[in-house]
Amino acid sequence: MRIPGKQLLVALVCAGLSGCASIGPPLPPSLELPKPPVDLHAARKGDKVTLIWTIPMRTTDRRIVRYLGATRICRGIEPVLKQCGKPVGEAAPAANLRAAKTPTKLDTSYVDTLPPAIERENSAGFATYAVEVLNTAGRGAGLSNQVHVPLVPTLPPFGDFSAKVVAQGVLTSWRCESVPGARSDNIRHLFRIYRRQEGNASEAKVGELDTPCIDGLRAGEAFVDLPAGKHQDYMMSFLDRNFEWEKTYFYWGSVVSVMTMPGRPPVEVEGEDTPEVKVFADDVFPPAVPSGLQAVFSGPGQQPFIDLIWTPDTDADLAGYNIYRREDGGTPVRLNSELAKAPAFRDTSVQPGKAYYYWVSAVDLRGNESARSEEASERVP
């Protein structure tokens, strides 16, 4: 058989090399169907549900995604969504994704608003969410993983929330407001207070209290009604002691709905936040005035002196004490050059035949000085 010249040339080239790869059939064109996300997460605050997921970077046939369409937001009250049905919203398509050997992981989000009716009619149930990422032709490969969000009804924030610095700490206060129809046998409410330091995004829960204006008074683990006619709005407060002086903070609060059902762990959902209140924790408050000052003379057979003792000051930021003395007809002078660390002092600069009058004051770490204590006196024989 005669071999054509071109085929003979190819055969000779392959024979001179280690081998030639066989040419398989061409790959079919990709349908560009993005792989469904598997890391959908949801968080609820008030009637807002924030959904977060990772944008697919691969197609169902393991190719790199180049273009994406919109993402359908799917919501239902059934435990498992079999299909999206009518989406409750759409997330805008991501920017065109260029092919890359190592695609970068990108997260995206969508905020859904729960209709009031779905909370009222399913207060003990859950909303099920999923997303479906589409290609530019409007086709998808199916739903993402599914997440469940409790439908416990939430309440609006209490009014007149404020925060101010007092000697003991930062005092927050608010108007505890009764809400018609909010009473429930299986739902109780808390008011939760938060704080963050200026320049720092992290927040700290500083306290939470019951809401007798809504739920009644707590008796052990149960709630009992307030006396007749006592369901009304009134002011409540919480003192934050766990902070640092001379720093700026923001405070806010929210009403938390806690649902308890037999055989299920409690479910809680926070309502919307009050407006933030800015506070500069400036410590201009002196310690408590020392008390119990006593003066006792000692001297026979030795250099005379007068010992002073008093009740210790219990302020957490106490730095020490100042000691003052005067003689008959004189003005008070401070005896110590440095703060006395202990609630005692020995005055050795006394002379026979004179009477001495003493006072002490407390000083904190920021130099705030208390008023002087009551006077104590002693005469040197």
pLDDT in tens, 68-110: 899 999 999 999 999 998 999 999 987 656 544 555 688 999 9
The whole-angstrom separation of Cα 49 and Cα 381 is 83
Read off the pLDDT band of 223 (50, 70, 90): very low
Per-residue pLDDT, averaged over 308-325, amounts to 95
Q: For 245, what's the count of Cα atoms within 13 Å in the CB-facing half-sphere?
A: 16
pLDDT at 178 (0 to 100): 85
pLDDT at 95 (0 to 100): 65
The reported pTM is 0.77
pLDDT(332) > 90: yes
pLDDT at 27 (0 to 100): 56
pLDDT(167) > 80: yes
The whole-angstrom separation of Cα 296 and Cα 299 is 10
Read off the pLDDT band of 180 (50, 70, 90): confident
Domains observed in the chain: 41-150 (2.60.40.2060), 159-280 (2.60.40.10), 291-379 (2.60.40.10)
DSSP per-residue letters across 148-169: EEE-----PPPEEEEEEEETTE
201, two tokens: 């995004």
**Pairwise pLDDT comparison (192 vs 230), residue with the higher score:** 192
Task: Decide if 77 contacts 119 (C-beta within 8 A).
Answer: no
| 199 torsion bin: left (phi>0), alpha (psi -120 to 50), beta (else) | left
pLDDT(6) > 80: no
Per-residue pLDDT, averaged over 280-285, amounts to 95
368, two tokens: 């705030």
- Spatial CA neighbour of 49 closest among 113, 107, 92, 108: 113
Per-residue pLDDT, averaged over 343-368, amounts to 96
* Those residues with Cβ within 8 angstroms of residue 44's Cβ, 6 or more apart along the chain or in another chain: 50, 114, 149, 150, 269
Per-residue pLDDT, averaged over 304-317, amounts to 94
pLDDT at 103 (0 to 100): 58
pLDDT at 14 (0 to 100): 44
Cα distances (angstroms) measured from residue 337 to each of 276, 323, 340, 341, 350: 45, 10, 9, 12, 17
For the chain, give the percent of residues with pLDDT over 90: 70
User: Euclidean distance between the first and final Cα of the chain, in Å?
Assistant: 144
